[in-house]
Amino acid sequence: MDVVDLKHEVQSILHPEPDEDGLTRWDPPHPRLASLHGLDTSYFRGPFDPKGDGVFERLLQDASDPLHDTLQSITIPFSLLTACFQLFGDSLIEYHERQPRWDLYRFYPPILMTAWSAFEAWLRISSEILVAVVPTLPRVVREALLELRQVVGKNGQIEDRPDRKPVLERYWLLLKYGCNLEFDRGSRVWQAAADVATVRDSLVHYNVSKAPSLTTSQVWGHLEAVMLLFIGPSTLARRTLLSHQFDHYCTLVQLYPLISEFEERPLHKGWPRDALIFDCPFDGVDETKYPSRWKS
């Protein structure tokens, strides 16, 4: 396939034609979810089934309810995933005929971070919704989900202070107290997501010893892991956690055959350990071991 045909194929996947009524189409769960991952998606009968996901729709009537502030951001996870898949499609086009088959960081770290940001945004929004609509939620659970802890300040007033929790720990609590689901943290779905978090952290909090590189298929696998983090629990809780999750997954699967393996990596990764010059703007340097490039 030449690059012109590839570009057309990518765009047709990312921007499908609307149906005959002019509405955005929706995709049924992809067969790969059952055949490869063993997930039972039979609960899902379309987004407009009043006896399916429709039973979980609620009405917000009070204009002064602070939940309005949270719901203003309800589409952010969808927007981030859409941007993430668009960027992945752009990378397929950009690298299709590129030689050599590697380059510096450009697409892959932003793709991975955007996908994980979509998950974290969904978790934050969903946590605020759960805390707002379930008055019987234990206080310690509310605090954990919102990453806050109530303390008594020096002046005797009760204050909320930040109390950061691992994102997957908060997700597990959300599933338990919001969906009555104790998801198996040893499952492939959970462990794959934990791997994504590790790779993401090695880039955001850069892991010098690993000098991480990413290939096209690895990035695709990480994107699938993020989607399965929504879909896997959905199949057990028998409700859709993320709107359009099956649409996004189908888009991802359709992009897979278009992969032509490429690698993004640090420029100096794997270089021979010969003498080299490096910037070192510090005082007190060991002049014997690390002499100045310019002799005075």
Relative to beta strand 102-103, strand 263-264 is parallel
Q: How confident is the model at residue 184 (pLDDT cuts 50, 70, 90)?
A: very high
Residue 293, pLDDT > 90, answer no
pLDDT of residue 100: 95
Q: How confident is the model at residue 22 (pLDDT cuts 50, 70, 90)?
A: low
Q: How far apart (Å, rounded) are the C-alpha atoms in residues 6 and 93?
A: 7
List beta partners, residue 152.
Answer: 158
Give the domain ranges of the chain. Answer: 3-56+63-264
* pLDDT tens digits along 260-277: 999 999 988 888 888 889
Work out the average pLDDT over 98-123.
Answer: 97
Task: Compute the half-sphere exposure of residue 260: CA atoms within 13 Å on the CB side of its CA.
Answer: 18
Work out the average pLDDT over 120-142.
Answer: 97
Whether the Cβ atoms of residue 134 and residue 178 lie closer than 8 Å to each other: yes
pLDDT of residue 296: 61
Work out the average pLDDT over 121-136.
Answer: 97
pLDDT of residue 273: 86
